[in-house]
Protein backbone atom coordinates (compact mmCIF):
# COMPACT_ATOMS: atom_id res chain seq x y z
CA UNK A 1 0.00 0.00 0.00
CA UNK A 2 1.49 3.28 -1.05
CA UNK A 3 1.59 5.94 1.65
CA UNK A 4 1.51 9.59 0.75
CA UNK A 5 4.90 11.36 0.92
CA UNK A 6 5.33 13.51 4.08
CA UNK A 7 5.10 17.21 3.76
CA UNK A 8 8.34 19.16 3.68
CA UNK A 9 8.34 21.58 6.65
CA UNK A 10 10.35 24.80 6.61
CA UNK A 11 13.41 24.75 8.93
CA UNK A 12 13.03 27.08 11.95
CA UNK A 13 16.08 28.92 13.44
CA UNK A 14 17.37 27.77 16.88
CA UNK A 15 15.84 30.13 19.51
CA UNK A 16 18.65 29.66 22.10
CA UNK A 17 21.27 32.05 20.60
CA UNK A 18 18.60 34.71 20.17
CA UNK A 19 17.58 34.35 23.81
CA UNK A 20 21.18 34.62 24.96
CA UNK A 21 21.79 37.72 22.87
CA UNK A 22 18.65 39.33 24.26
CA UNK A 23 19.68 38.56 27.82
CA UNK A 24 23.13 40.07 27.25
CA UNK A 25 21.54 43.22 25.86
CA UNK A 26 19.28 43.51 28.90
CA UNK A 27 22.25 43.08 31.27
CA UNK A 28 24.23 45.78 29.43
CA UNK A 29 21.30 48.23 29.55
CA UNK A 30 20.78 47.50 33.24
CA UNK A 31 24.47 48.10 34.03
CA UNK A 32 24.43 51.38 32.14
CA UNK A 33 21.33 52.55 34.04
CA UNK A 34 22.87 51.61 37.41
CA UNK A 35 26.14 53.35 36.57
CA UNK A 36 24.36 56.54 35.58
CA UNK A 37 22.23 56.36 38.73
CA UNK A 38 25.35 55.95 40.93
CA UNK A 39 27.09 58.91 39.27
CA UNK A 40 24.06 61.07 39.79
CA UNK A 41 23.83 60.03 43.43
CA UNK A 42 27.52 60.73 44.07
CA UNK A 43 27.29 64.10 42.41
CA UNK A 44 24.25 65.05 44.43
CA UNK A 45 25.59 63.71 47.77
CA UNK A 46 27.51 66.19 49.90
CA UNK A 47 31.09 65.02 50.18
CA UNK A 48 34.56 65.10 48.75
CA UNK A 49 34.78 65.50 44.99
CA UNK A 50 31.01 65.85 44.32
CA UNK A 51 28.58 68.66 43.80
CA UNK A 52 26.14 69.44 46.60
CA UNK A 53 22.61 68.25 46.09
CA UNK A 54 19.70 70.55 46.50
CA UNK A 55 19.99 71.98 49.98
CA UNK A 56 23.24 70.04 50.58
CA UNK A 57 26.63 71.45 51.52
CA UNK A 58 30.09 70.31 50.37
CA UNK A 59 32.70 71.13 52.98
CA UNK A 60 35.67 69.77 51.06
CA UNK A 61 37.72 71.87 48.63
CA UNK A 62 37.77 71.15 44.94
CA UNK A 63 41.19 70.03 43.63
CA UNK A 64 42.36 71.59 40.37
CA UNK A 65 44.94 70.16 37.99
CA UNK A 66 48.26 71.98 37.81
CA UNK A 67 49.96 73.28 34.67
CA UNK A 68 51.20 69.76 33.88
CA UNK A 69 47.70 68.33 34.08
CA UNK A 70 48.35 66.51 37.37
CA UNK A 71 46.94 66.81 40.85
CA UNK A 72 49.19 68.67 43.29
CA UNK A 73 50.99 66.39 45.76
CA UNK A 74 49.63 68.40 48.68
CA UNK A 75 46.07 67.25 48.01
CA UNK A 76 46.97 63.57 47.75
CA UNK A 77 46.36 61.67 51.01
CA UNK A 78 49.25 59.94 52.75
CA UNK A 79 48.45 56.51 54.11
CA UNK A 80 49.77 55.45 57.48
CA UNK A 81 52.22 52.96 55.99
CA UNK A 82 53.82 55.70 53.90
CA UNK A 83 54.14 57.90 56.97
CA UNK A 84 55.93 55.11 58.77
CA UNK A 85 58.09 54.44 55.71
CA UNK A 86 59.40 58.00 55.89
CA UNK A 87 60.89 57.11 59.27
CA UNK A 88 61.97 53.60 58.22
CA UNK A 89 60.48 51.75 61.12
CA UNK A 90 60.53 54.73 63.45
CA UNK A 91 64.29 55.27 63.18
CA UNK A 92 65.52 58.76 62.50
CA UNK A 93 68.17 59.64 59.94
CA UNK A 94 70.70 60.21 62.74
CA UNK A 95 70.15 56.74 64.15
CA UNK A 96 70.49 55.16 60.72
CA UNK A 97 73.74 56.92 59.94
CA UNK A 98 76.89 54.86 60.34
CA UNK A 99 78.29 55.30 63.84
CA UNK A 100 81.16 53.92 65.86
CA UNK A 101 80.21 51.52 68.67
CA UNK A 102 82.44 53.28 71.22
CA UNK A 103 82.69 56.81 72.54
CA UNK A 104 85.72 59.00 71.96
CA UNK A 105 86.69 57.17 68.78
CA UNK A 106 88.69 58.62 65.91
CA UNK A 107 86.56 58.66 62.75
CA UNK A 108 88.47 57.13 59.85
CA UNK A 109 85.63 57.07 57.32
CA UNK A 110 84.31 53.54 56.95
CA UNK A 111 85.89 52.47 60.26
CA UNK A 112 87.04 54.03 63.51
CA UNK A 113 89.92 53.73 65.93
CA UNK A 114 89.96 53.97 69.71
CA UNK A 115 91.09 57.42 70.78
CA UNK A 116 93.35 55.93 73.47
CA UNK A 117 95.09 52.65 74.21
CA UNK A 118 93.38 49.80 76.03
CA UNK A 119 93.46 50.12 79.81
CA UNK A 120 94.86 46.89 81.19
CA UNK A 121 93.11 45.76 84.39
CA UNK A 122 95.40 45.47 87.42
CA UNK A 123 95.04 41.68 87.43
CA UNK A 124 96.14 41.48 83.77
CA UNK A 125 99.18 43.77 83.85
CA UNK A 126 102.05 42.04 82.06
CA UNK A 127 99.70 39.60 80.31
CA UNK A 128 98.84 41.89 77.37
CA UNK A 129 100.78 39.98 74.73
CA UNK A 130 99.69 39.45 71.10
CA UNK A 131 97.09 36.79 71.94
CA UNK A 132 95.63 38.92 74.74
CA UNK A 133 95.34 42.00 72.50
CA UNK A 134 93.71 40.21 69.58
CA UNK A 135 91.24 38.39 71.85
CA UNK A 136 90.31 41.54 73.80
CA UNK A 137 89.58 43.45 70.59
CA UNK A 138 87.56 40.56 69.18
CA UNK A 139 85.58 40.25 72.42
CA UNK A 140 84.57 43.90 72.13
CA UNK A 141 83.47 43.54 68.51
CA UNK A 142 86.57 44.98 66.87
CA UNK A 143 90.04 43.91 65.77
CA UNK A 144 93.68 44.67 66.39
CA UNK A 145 94.60 47.26 63.74
CA UNK A 146 97.34 46.70 61.21
CA UNK A 147 100.47 48.81 61.01
CA UNK A 148 99.10 50.46 57.86
CA UNK A 149 95.92 51.45 59.70
CA UNK A 150 97.83 52.88 62.65
CA UNK A 151 100.28 54.82 60.51
CA UNK A 152 97.43 56.06 58.33
CA UNK A 153 95.62 57.29 61.45
CA UNK A 154 98.71 59.03 62.89
CA UNK A 155 97.67 62.54 61.68
CA UNK A 156 94.32 62.17 63.48
CA UNK A 157 94.95 59.78 66.39
CA UNK A 158 97.22 60.41 69.36
CA UNK A 159 99.46 57.35 69.04
CA UNK A 160 102.13 56.44 71.57
CA UNK A 161 105.40 58.14 70.67
CA UNK A 162 108.84 59.33 71.71
CA UNK A 163 109.57 61.70 74.58
CA UNK A 164 110.29 64.62 72.25
CA UNK A 165 106.94 64.35 70.42
CA UNK A 166 104.16 66.88 70.98
CA UNK A 167 101.91 65.76 73.87
CA UNK A 168 99.04 67.65 72.25
CA UNK A 169 99.04 65.45 69.15
CA UNK A 170 100.49 62.19 70.49
CA UNK A 171 100.10 59.98 73.55
CA UNK A 172 103.37 61.18 75.01
CA UNK A 173 103.40 61.90 78.74
CA UNK A 174 104.26 65.55 79.18
CA UNK A 175 105.46 65.11 82.77
CA UNK A 176 106.63 61.49 83.12
CA UNK A 177 107.12 60.07 86.60
CA UNK A 178 110.43 58.48 87.41
CA UNK A 179 108.78 55.66 89.40
CA UNK A 180 106.92 54.58 86.26
CA UNK A 181 109.98 54.87 84.06
CA UNK A 182 110.89 57.61 81.59
CA UNK A 183 111.05 56.08 78.14
CA UNK A 184 109.67 56.19 74.64
CA UNK A 185 106.50 54.23 73.95
CA UNK A 186 104.99 52.41 71.00
CA UNK A 187 101.91 50.38 70.06
CA UNK A 188 101.24 46.84 68.89
CA UNK A 189 100.08 46.19 65.32
CA UNK A 190 98.43 43.06 63.93
CA UNK A 191 101.24 42.42 61.41
CA UNK A 192 103.64 39.53 62.12
CA UNK A 193 107.11 38.61 60.84
CA UNK A 194 109.75 36.01 61.70
CA UNK A 195 113.39 36.61 62.51
CA UNK A 196 114.60 33.12 61.53
CA UNK A 197 113.95 30.73 58.68
CA UNK A 198 112.14 27.40 58.87
CA UNK A 199 108.72 26.15 59.83
CA UNK A 200 109.42 26.38 63.56
CA UNK A 201 109.83 30.15 63.23
CA UNK A 202 106.05 30.49 62.89
CA UNK A 203 105.24 28.36 65.93
CA UNK A 204 104.41 24.72 66.39
CA UNK A 205 101.66 22.66 68.00
CA UNK A 206 104.22 19.92 68.78
CA UNK A 207 103.42 16.22 68.92
CA UNK A 208 101.15 15.03 71.70
CA UNK A 209 102.15 11.93 73.65
CA UNK A 210 100.01 9.05 72.45
CA UNK A 211 100.00 10.00 68.76
CA UNK A 212 100.30 6.96 66.49
CA UNK A 213 101.24 6.46 62.86
CA UNK A 214 98.98 4.95 60.22
CA UNK A 215 99.33 1.17 60.49
CA UNK A 216 97.81 0.64 57.03
CA UNK A 217 100.84 2.24 55.40
CA UNK A 218 103.41 1.18 57.97
CA UNK A 219 103.94 4.75 59.16
CA UNK A 220 106.08 4.85 62.33
CA UNK A 221 104.78 6.46 65.49
CA UNK A 222 105.78 10.14 65.74
CA UNK A 223 108.06 11.16 68.56
CA UNK A 224 106.47 13.37 71.22
CA UNK A 225 107.54 17.02 71.02
CA UNK A 226 106.58 20.06 73.10
CA UNK A 227 104.34 22.71 71.59
CA UNK A 228 105.77 26.16 70.84
CA UNK A 229 102.71 28.37 70.17
CA UNK A 230 104.59 31.63 70.81
CA UNK A 231 108.11 31.25 69.47
CA UNK A 232 110.59 33.97 70.30
CA UNK A 233 111.38 34.25 66.58
CA UNK A 234 107.79 35.35 65.74
CA UNK A 235 107.41 39.11 66.23
CA UNK A 236 104.60 41.62 65.88
CA UNK A 237 105.24 45.02 64.28
CA UNK A 238 105.17 48.08 66.53
CA UNK A 239 104.27 51.62 65.44
CA UNK A 240 104.73 55.08 66.95
CA UNK A 241 103.32 58.53 66.23
CA UNK A 242 106.57 59.99 64.83
CA UNK A 243 105.33 63.60 64.98
CA UNK A 244 102.05 62.75 63.20
CA UNK A 245 103.89 61.13 60.29
CA UNK A 246 103.68 57.62 61.72
CA UNK A 247 106.59 55.22 61.74
CA UNK A 248 107.72 51.69 62.42
CA UNK A 249 109.29 51.07 65.82
CA UNK A 250 110.68 47.58 65.33
CA UNK A 251 109.20 44.31 66.50
CA UNK A 252 108.65 42.41 69.72
CA UNK A 253 108.10 38.69 70.30
CA UNK A 254 104.43 37.73 70.32
CA UNK A 255 104.71 36.58 73.93
CA UNK A 256 105.75 40.02 75.23
CA UNK A 257 103.26 42.69 76.42
CA UNK A 258 102.74 46.03 74.69
CA UNK A 259 100.30 48.94 74.43
CA UNK A 260 97.47 48.36 71.98
CA UNK A 261 94.16 49.84 70.84
CA UNK A 262 91.27 48.34 68.90
CA UNK A 263 89.67 49.26 65.59
CA UNK A 264 85.95 48.97 64.85
CA UNK A 265 83.66 48.88 61.85
CA UNK A 266 80.94 51.51 61.63
CA UNK A 267 77.26 50.67 61.52
CA UNK A 268 76.45 50.26 65.21
CA UNK A 269 72.88 51.37 66.00
CA UNK A 270 72.24 52.65 69.48
CA UNK A 271 74.20 54.40 72.18
CA UNK A 272 77.97 53.93 71.81
CA UNK A 273 79.81 52.18 74.63
CA UNK A 274 81.62 54.50 77.03
CA UNK A 275 85.37 53.88 77.11
CA UNK A 276 86.31 57.01 79.05
CA UNK A 277 88.18 54.80 81.51
CA UNK A 278 90.73 53.85 78.88
CA UNK A 279 94.31 54.97 79.41
The answer to whether 117 and 236 have CB atoms below 8 angstroms apart is no
- Which segments of the chain does DSSP mark as H helices, in order? 15-44, 80-87, 93-96, 130-139, 147-153
Tell me the β-bridge partners of 111: 265
Contact 265, 233 (CB under 8 A): no
* Terminal CA-CA length for the chain: 135
**Mean pLDDT of all residues in 177-193:** 93
> What DSSP line would sit under 192-246, residue for residue?
EEESS-SGGGG-B--B-TT----TTTTPPPPPPB--BSS-TTEEEEEEE-TTTT-
Predicted pLDDT at 105: 92
Count other C-beta atoms under 10 Å from residue 246's C-beta: 20
Give pLDDT, residue 134: 98
Query: pLDDT: is 140 or 11 the higher one?
Result: 140
10-38 pLDDT, tens digit per residue, is 556 666 566 666 666 776 766 666 666 55
CA 84 to chain centre: 21
Q: Above 60 in pLDDT, residue 90?
A: no
Give the domain ranges of the chain.
98-174+181-188+238-265
Which of 276, 274, 266 has its CA nearest to residue 108? 266
- Where does the pLDDT of residue 277 fall: very low under 50, low under 70, confident under 90, or very high at 90 and above? very low
Q: Are 194 and 188 in contact (CB under 8 A)?
A: no
Nearest to 200 by CA among 234, 223, 224: 234
In the predicted structure, residue 58 carries a pLDDT above the cut 50: yes
Nearest C-alpha neighbor of 149 from the set 112, 193, 186, 176: 112
Q: What is the CA angle 109-111-115, rounded to 5?
A: 100
Q: pLDDT tens-digit profile of 199-233?
A: 778 888 899 999 999 999 999 999 999 999 999 99
Q: How much is the pLDDT for 33?
A: 62
Q: How confident is the model at residue 160 (pLDDT cuts 50, 70, 90)?
A: very high
Banded pLDDT at 198 (limits 50, 70, 90): confident
**Phi and psi based region of residue 152 (left: phi greater than 0; alpha: psi -120 to 50; beta: remaining):** alpha
pTM for this one?
0.63
What topology does CATH give the domain 98-174+181-188+238-265?
A: Mannose-Binding Protein A; Chain A (3.10.100)
Amino acid sequence: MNRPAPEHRALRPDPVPRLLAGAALLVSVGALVMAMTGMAASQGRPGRGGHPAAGGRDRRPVAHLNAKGKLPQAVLPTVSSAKNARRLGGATRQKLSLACPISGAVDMGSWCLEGSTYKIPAADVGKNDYAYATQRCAAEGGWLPTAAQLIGAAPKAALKSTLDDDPGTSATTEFPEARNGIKDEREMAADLFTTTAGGAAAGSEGVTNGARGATATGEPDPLPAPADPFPSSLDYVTVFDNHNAGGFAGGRPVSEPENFRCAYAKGYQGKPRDISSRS
